[in-house]
Amino acid sequence: MNNICSHCKTSYEDIFESGFVGCEHCYQEIDNLRLALNSMYQGKKHIGRGTRRKNAQL
């Protein structure tokens, strides 16, 4: 498990609070980041349920 991006030193908490990733590597460096962001942007909904995916690319 890794909670800090080794490229930009942004932590999981930083990203989760600000809503912005530090760099493009954060997704790979920080486990669960994509899941966390998805849940943050989509509220309580489950992923892959509907067709509202036009802005899913982060």
Told to check if 37 binds Zn ion by CB under 5 A, we report no
Told to check if 7 binds Zn ion by CB under 5 A, we report yes
Q: Which two tokens stand for residue 7?
A: 């490229």
Rounded distance between C-alpha atoms, residue 13 and residue 40, angstroms:
13
6 versus 45: smaller Cβ distance to Zn ion? 6
Of 4, 8, 16, 38, the one binding Zn ion (CB under 5 A) is: 8
Rounded distance between C-alpha atoms, residue 19 and residue 40, angstroms:
8
Q: How far is the CB of 31 from Zn ion (least distance, A)?
A: 13
DSSP state of 36: H
Told to check if 23 binds Zn ion by CB under 5 A, we report yes
Told to check if 30 binds Zn ion by CB under 5 A, we report no
